[in-house]
Structure 1
Amino acid sequence: MSLKQTFGTWRAFFREVDWRLVFLTGPRHHFTPEQWQRLDRLQGISPTIKVAAWINVLTLAVVASLELPLAAAQMVFAGTLLMGLLTLWIAADLWRRPTQKRLFRAYGLSAFPLGAALGFLVAVMPEHWMQDRWNHEILIRGCAIGFFYSMATWALAMWRNEFMADWLHDEALREQKLELAQRLSSAQIQPHFLFNSLASLQHWVAVKDDRAAPLLQSLTSYLRATLPLFDRPLLSVGEEAEAVRRYLEVMQARLGGRLRFVLDIAPDAATAQLPPGVLLTLVENAVEHGVQPQLSGGELQLRAYLPAEGGLCVEVLDDGPGPSEALLQLPPLDPAAMLRDAQASLGLQNSRLRLWQAFGDQAELSLSHRNEGGCRAQVWVRTSPPEAQSRT
């Protein structure tokens, strides 16, 4: 290897070294005010960790005072305990905001009482004080404990700072995956619905059936109504109800009198926000599993209203055979697993994921049997629409 190549290798090596960590200068990551707002959502120190920290400080104070005369042991115990409590107070502050400025401020707060104590010893105690064996032992133990607490404080600040940076990075990747899942699900227009509609249209045009023109008009209106589903995180119930109406008109043109539907959207509920495509998915499922399997067809209802207790309730009702036991026993929502498993992000599970993205635990999608027969799909958002929109 030539001298130039060796120099290049060493230069690349030293460029990868984080000198801030080597020289213990403190946390290296700086966060913006917006990032701090997000980091404030992290869980605080648990009671278990607090109790464990207090026990460790007390244990260290006991160990540090072992094998000393009573007066010296009492002094070391009290000093160790006070330094430990001060360190825990500083650690709680650094846990919330592990910045270099706060770490150096903590060093200053810790060094001031220690420096004052050493100055007092030098100024007040006689010259032969250090020659006493136990006084010498007290000073050594005090310096060792102070160094231990300082290194523990530094390690906590460095670890917490790195943890927060990694958490923000993981959150960014997670949000990208969720956004991708949302876009894919928003673009999920059932291929068989389009193919079957186009096949019916082609056949009716070929045989000059009068139903061709209304079907083409309804299909065009449906595609136009679904365009907002591709580029908006939330859509009003009224807007998606229009897409649902166009979809049902297309299906009614194909099924004729076998499909009957009623849309009942309360005016105050029409402005509420939901992830786009959720209602359309529920209506498609109701048509496919509740209406089409019956020779006589069936009736479908879409209702949206604001309950007296607040929030939003949307129901899709049909008078078909009802939901299967597999659908009634959907597993608990696991967003991470659903993002890993593409098959789990279809249909009802995908709609549950979309609702969770927008409203968290405030939203719920459930299926149940109707007393009069058929299936009830209910979307319940417990928070008010303006709050839900701001949360997203």
Structure 2
Amino acid sequence: MSLKLWFANLRAFCREVDWRLVFLMGPRHSFTPEQWQRLDRLPGISPTIKVAAVVNVLALAWIVSLELPQAAARLVFASALLAGLLTLWIGADLWRRPTLKRLYRAYGLSAFPLGAVFGFLMAAQPQQWMQDPWNHELLIRGCAIGFFYSMATWAVAMWRNEFMADWLHDEALREQKLELAQRLSSAQIQPHFLFNSLASLQHWVAVKDDRAAPLLQSLTSYLRATLPLFDRPLLSVGEEAEAVRRYLEVMQARLGGRLRVVLDIAPDASAAQLPPGVLLTLVENAVEHGVQPQLSGGEVQLLARMQGDGSLCVEVLDDGSGPSEALLQMPPLEPFAMLRDAEASLGLQNTRLRLFQAFGPAASLSLSHRLEGGCRAQVWVQAAKS
């Protein structure tokens, strides 16, 4: 191997080494104020871990004070306990905000109790301190304790800093997936509904059916009402209910008396916010699976109410054959797992994704059989906690 190639390999190796970690320089990731606000949502240290940490500090303080004279043992135990409790407080602070500045501050605060004790003893009786072998043992144990606590503090800060950076990265990827799913689901306005409506319109125009003009007018009103809505992250229940009304007009023009409709939106629920397309998807599913398969047709109901605790409840009811087992078994709070269920409705999966993106676990979509027969699709959005 030539000298030039050897130096090139050495330079490449040195570039791969994180020298901040090698020289224990502290956390390497810095976060913006906006990122800290997001990181504050991470859970804190559990009570079990806090109690376990205190018990271990007591045990360590007792161990390091063994085989010492009574006075020295008390001093070592008290110093070790004080340093341990201080380190736990520092560790909790670093757990919440693992920055380089707080780590260096932790080093100073951890070393202060031990340094103050030894400095006081050595200043009070310097000759006796140097001659007594127990004091030498005491100094060695104190330095060991200080080194142990410093390394423990460093490890907490480094690990937590890396964990937070990885969590932010995973959250960014997750939001990208949700955004992509939202865009795909927003683009899915039941293409077969539009194709079927246009096919019916084309046929009625060809045979000069009087139903062609009302259908064209209803379809135009539907598109004018719905297409702008999908450019917004949230819209009111009242706004989308108007789009639902336009959709049902189109379907009534096609199905005639086979489709019966009930819309009951409470005034207080009309202002509540939902992601676009949620109500449309549920009503479209009710018409397609609950009304159209029946020769006699059926009824679709859209109900929206605000509960006493401020939660929003929206129900879409039909009197068809009811939901399939595959739909009933869809997990309510695992939006990405749902995409692996090929038998479940893509529209319902996308609806749950949009709800999860907007409200997280505070929103849910469930399907159930009605006692009277048919399907009940229910959307719950819990009130925001103050």
- Counterpart contact for 2:363–2:381, Cα < 8 Å: yes
Aligned-pair distance for 1:145?
1.0
Calculate the aligned-residue CA RMSD, in Å: 2.5
Once the two structures are superposed, residues 325-350 of structure 1 have per-residue CA deviations (whole angstroms, 9 ceiling, x without a partner) of 55445434213423666776723343
Aligned residue in 2 for 1:99: 99
| Alignment deviations for residues 117-171 of structure 1 (CA, whole Å, 9 cap, x no partner) | 2322332224253333222111111111111111111111111111111111111
* Closer/same/farther in 2, CA of residues 340 and 140 from structure 1, 3 Å limit: farther
The equivalences for 1:115-134 within 5 A come to 115-134=115-134
Shift of 1:293: 1.7
Q: Distance in 1 between matches of 2:189 and 2:325?
A: 26
Where does residue 333 of structure 2 map in the other structure? Answer: 333
Sort the Cα spacing of 1:186 and 1:7 in 2 relative to 1 into closer, same or farther, 3 A.
Answer: same
Which whole-Å CA distance do the structure 2 matches of 1:369 and 1:126 have between them?
86
- Give the conservation status (yes or no) of the 8 Å contact 2:367–2:377: yes
Q: Which residue of 1 aligns with 2:180?
A: 180
Tell me which amino acid in the other structure corresponds to 1:241: A
Q: Is the 8 A contact 2:290 2:322 kept in 1?
A: yes
CA deviation vs aligned residue, 1:60-88 (integer Å, no higher than 9, x gap): 22221233333333332222222111111
Contact 1:177 / 1:339 at 8 angstroms: preserved in 2?
no
Counterpart residue number, 2:203: 203
Secondary structure at the counterpart of residue 304 of structure 1: strand
In structure 2, how many angstroms separate the alpha carbons of the residues matched to 1:336 and 1:294? 33
| CA distance, structure 2, for counterparts of residue 303 and residue 43 of structure 1 | 37
Cα distance change on mapping 1:11 and 1:265 into 2, 3 Å: same
Over 3 Å counting, the alpha-carbon distance change for 1:71 and 1:340 in structure 2 is: farther
1:205-220 matches, within 5 Å, as: 205-220=205-220
Instruction: Give the fraction of aligned pairs with identical amino acids, expressed as a percent.
Output: 84
| Bigger mean CA deviation after superposition, 43-52 or 260-269 | 260-269
CA distance in 2, matches of 1:321, 1:72: 83
Partner of 2:272: 272
Q: Does 1:238 align with 2:260?
A: no
Q: Which range moved further: 353-362 or 1-10?
A: 1-10
**Equivalence for 1:323:** 323
| Alpha-carbon shift at residue 4 of structure 1 (Å) | 4.8
| Closer, same or farther: CA 75–118 of 1 in aligned 2, 3 Å | closer
Partner of 1:247: 247
How far apart are 1:229 and its partner, in Å? 4.3
**TM alignment of 1:18-33, pairs within 5 A:** 18-33=18-33
Q: Helix, strand or coil: the match of 1:121?
A: helix
Q: Deviations over 1:8-55 (max 9, x none)?
A: 443333233322222212111111111111111111111121122122
Cα 1:339–1:49 change in 2 (3 A) is farther
Runs (5+) with no aligned partner, structure 1: none
Alignment-derived partner of residue 299 in structure 1:
299
Kindly state the Cα deviation for residue 380 of structure 1 after the two structures are TM-superposed: 2.5
Residues in 1 aligned to 2:263 and 2:195: alpha-carbon distance in whole angstroms: 26
Partner of 2:75: 75
Contact 1:339 1:345 in 2 (8 A): no
Query: Structure 1 residue 235: deviation in Å?
Result: 1.6
Segment of structure 1 superposing worse, 20-29 or 198-207: 198-207
Give yes or no for contact 1:344–1:350 (8 Å, CA) kept in 2.
no
Q: After TM superposition, give the deviation of residue 240 of structure 1 in Å.
A: 1.3
Structure-1 residue corresponding to 2:163: 163
TM-score, normalized by length of structure 2? 0.90
Correspondence for 2:14: 14
Mapped contact 1:282–1:377 kept (Cα < 8 A): yes
The number of residues matched between the two structures is 386
Distance 1:342 1:186 in 2: 20
Letter in 2 for 1:216: L
With 61-70 and 173-182 compared, the bigger mean Cα shift is at: 61-70
